[in-house]
Amino acid sequence: MTQKSFNIAVAGATGAVGNQMIDCLEERSFPIKTVKFLASKRSAGKQIRFKGDMTPVEELTADSFKGVDIAIFSAGGGTSEKFAPCAADDGCVVVDNSSQWRMHPDVPLVVPEVNPHAVSGYKTKGIIANPNCSTIQMVVALKPIHDQYRIKRIVVSTYQAVSGTGKKAVDELFDQTRAMINFLDYETTVYPHRIAFNCLPHIDQFLENGYTKEEMKMVNETRKIFEDDSIRVSATTVRVPVFYGHSESVNIETEKPVNPEDARSLLENAPGVKVMDDPKNNVYPMAIDAAGQDLTLVGRIRKDESVDNGLAMWIAADNIRKGAAVNAVQIAEILAKEHL
Ligand code: A2P
């Protein structure tokens, strides 16, 4: 029997995440019949290499999705708001990387290692949302512990790479670093302050409650993905001068007693997780190990001595790959195998 193949579109194909999505489709041998690369008018006609052929970028319009089976979007919230419904009206299923649709009650929010069953909820709106990069790596690591010990509370601080902001931010960190080590003047255009040799406790807009939008994404998305609104989450999200790879310090409080050894062995057998936890030999997850690969790295697993039942750990993953492109392509794989 020949394998079924699909007409695929990538919206935002010229961006940092879009580029990785294209690489992932190729690396993972996604069953593709035809492929379309979409971006803004500015990029129309640019060529992108895919499976050895050069394919021209087309301008994204409301008519781009006729005959397309699956469209993976990473072109900003406004573009998803406007064009994802057009694609769905044409019978195309959208996997959207923006935050636009994540909390919509009729849009599933999926991390394939955690809640793959939720994909089937796409039928109402024709859209599936990819969670925030920081949420994805945290829930991949916490899901096995939640299933076994029930997590009641999470306190997380993130150390997020500039690539999460897009290509302009990668350039800004590079330019500022080069300028500073040469005692030259530098410009600050992407972030409100210098990012080189600095940490900014500020990702996305501040809200009335004092948290940022990024922090509240971690709260609300974790609850939606775990299908458990009772979990209490407090997040502090920080931009750090790292190019690729988000790291997180995570403390959890569980209902049932949990010890680090049992948590470590659960995580050693968990899908998508690699335990790197041998501090005596300086082995722990680092952004430089996370970058360029697809697993969520977990280490520094220890008892949180400030509560009765608690653990502390350190988690790192590639924010552009597992935090965005890989997760979206994994969702598309479930659609292709089980639903289309
Ligand atoms: P373009 O390169 O033509 O501007 P990044 O997150 O790295 O900044 O990438 C954003 C992606 O979204 C790019 O591919 C960009 O295309 C695309 N994009 C941004 N705005 C639009 C728009 N209004 N219509 C279509 N694509 C857009």
73-123 residue pLDDT tens: 999 999 999 999 999 999 999 999 999 999 999 999 999 999 999 999 999
The DSSP code sequence of 79-131 is HHHHHHHHHHHTTPEEEE-SSTTTT-TTS-B--TTT-GGGGGGGGTTSEEEPP
- Does the pLDDT value for residue 276 go beyond 70? yes
Residue with tokens 């530098």: 186
Whole-number Å distance, alpha carbon 132 to ligand 1 midpoint, is: 18
**Residue 281: what pLDDT?**
98
Pocket flag, ligand 1, residue 39 (CB < 6 Å): yes
Closest-lying ligand 1 atom to the alpha carbon of residue 14: 14
Pocket flag, ligand 1, residue 76 (CB < 6 Å): yes
Q: Which helix (DSSP H) or strand (DSSP E) does residue 11 occupy?
A: strand 6-11
Residue with tokens 């990702």: 203
Separation of alpha carbons 172 and 87, rounded Å: 34
- Does the pLDDT value for residue 294 go beyond 70? yes
Mean pLDDT of 191-200: 98
268, two tokens? 């050693």
Separation of alpha carbons 44 and 34, rounded Å: 18
Could you list the active site residues? 133, 246
**Residue 2: what pLDDT?**
65
142-175 residue pLDDT tens: 999 999 999 999 999 999 999 999 989 999 999 9
34, two tokens? 């035809």
**Residue 229: what pLDDT?**
96
Q: Percent of the chain scored above 70 by pLDDT?
A: 99
Q: Is the distance from CB of 250 to CB of 296 less than 8 angstroms?
A: no
Whole-number Å distance, alpha carbon 73 to ligand 1 midpoint, is: 10
pLDDT band at 3 (very low <50, low <70, confident <90, very high): confident
pLDDT band at 1 (very low <50, low <70, confident <90, very high): low
Whole-number Å distance, alpha carbon 14 to ligand 1 midpoint, is: 7
